[in-house]
Structure 1
């Protein structure tokens, strides 16, 4: 069984919700990314979303765009990220997902990517700019190596579109809680519960909610209706603010611990 399936099953049995922090790989370097992943595991994270930096990140707001630029300038590449995952897998039991735009994977080669990512210990893949109708080749390659491909559902997705995406997804469904790009928001959608009920009518997969979630209180609110909560920009922003500071790892870990505590209150 894929580690993603195992983790959601265990959390469901325990009556808990998953916390999935996001990190941009290689910001400021891959050694720091490795340390942060292990710290986040120690502080209660359930899954980790590892962002592959890209020069034109369409779904990401300015915070993650800046992180991607810093990472690219530091020389981060998809092969080096896969190598980093392979190096930490013996010390990390968490499900690890790569979030990448399709271009880096296409140029790497779908079959080669799936084989090498799975061998390194990657469990899943999120590709925000690849619709299910155009994903057959990649899905076939990843499925052959038990890598789950996760698709996104937006608030604007009609029910037929929800049905198509739900049928294509493996592991869980990523629900985009707000219109627009990633980034910290002061409030969340008022119709989140109703939207998730419509998706649950089409699938038994866990539903994880991301985009705009940045505080323990928002995590608490989302945890009441979703199976998992994804927090990205708030973490990346904290890392940007504490860059070069000796207590960066502890501060980031403390923040993740506070978010995880809000999933089980």
Structure 2
């Protein structure tokens, strides 16, 4: 059986389309609105949706997502009750769901139980940014058996040889971090990033998605000239906090009108 995320990217390639993956923080605004938000993003045209799990010591999150995580933790959100909520709504959400968490919650949950509950919830993939490839044996065999992808990240400071090594593992896509630092809205990108994306595309057999700091239509259009899609986090979290669904829909629709 083909993984839903892998199938989605194969379809995009056939149609010569680019991917738009929005990120939301589970439990920000209350866990009871999670499925409604996923369905809304699905209707707006999301390729897949990354669902962040709030964690007390995130290493990759900038101020906007950290604040959302704090709000979610105060509301009692956990990895376990988020997966329970995703399981309840899995028949309503047809786009691939990617759960983003850290290794500490997974370790406390138990790797086998975590993977079993991902599978029950219909999750297609997960991201564990603090899990290096040298330690993937802690969980990767269980994920593979459950037909759940492990999405790996590369950064602008990752050597080319290691990028090739990482890119040749698994399926799904390669998460390419576009800044030297944490998440958060940026106003511009430079030539160094463009050259980096070109290099990653050259060595990666997987679709290459750019993430971190992407916040405007112009950035999305520019960056997708050099990669297969974008992941937009802080801006989506900010727009949900403002209930600005008009701007959100406009942002998600930008790739649908760009000729490829």
Summarize the Cα distance change of 1:189–1:34 in structure 2 as closer, same or farther, 3 Å threshold.
farther
**In the alignment, what sits opposite 2:217?**
216
Equivalences for 1:49-198 in 2 at 5 Å? 49-198=50-199
- Partner-residue secondary structure (3-state), 1:125: strand
Distance 1:223 1:32 in 2: 31
Q: TM-score, normalised by structure 2?
A: 0.95
1:60 Cα offset (Å): 0.5
Instruction: Report the count of equivalent residues.
Output: 256
1:168 Cα offset (Å): 2.7
**In the alignment, what sits opposite 1:229?**
230
Q: For residues 172-226 of structure 1, what are the alpha-carbon distances to aligned partners after superposition, in whole Å with 9 as ceiling and x for unaligned?
A: 0000011100000011232333222322333321011100100111111112121
Distance 2:146 2:190 in 1: 37
Q: For residues 117-163 of structure 1, what are the alpha-carbon distances to aligned partners after superposition, in whole Å with 9 as ceiling and x for unaligned?
A: 11210000011111111111211111110000011000111112112
Kindly indicate whether residue 43 of structure 2 is the aligned counterpart of residue 42 of structure 1.
Answer: yes
Distance 1:190 1:200 in 2: 15
Structure 2: 5+ residue stretches without partners: none
Distance 2:125 2:62 in 1: 23
**In the alignment, what sits opposite 1:256?**
248
Distance 1:110 1:205 in 2: 25
CA contact (8 A) 1:177 1:189 kept: no
CA contact (8 A) 1:45 1:260 kept: yes
CA contact (8 A) 1:188 1:213 kept: no
Distance 2:118 2:4 in 1: 14
Q: For residues 239-265 of structure 1, what are the alpha-carbon distances to aligned partners after superposition, in whole Å with 9 as ceiling and x for unaligned?
A: 23x2xxxxx2xx33x333322332231
CA contact (8 A) 1:155 1:177 kept: yes
Distance 1:169 1:60 in 2: 25
- Partner-residue secondary structure (3-state), 2:139: helix
1:169 Cα offset (Å): 4.0
CA contact (8 A) 2:197 2:227 kept: yes
1:12 Cα offset (Å): 1.2
CA contact (8 A) 1:178 1:189 kept: no
Distance 1:133 1:76 in 2: 30
**In the alignment, what sits opposite 1:245?**
none
1:34 Cα offset (Å): 1.4
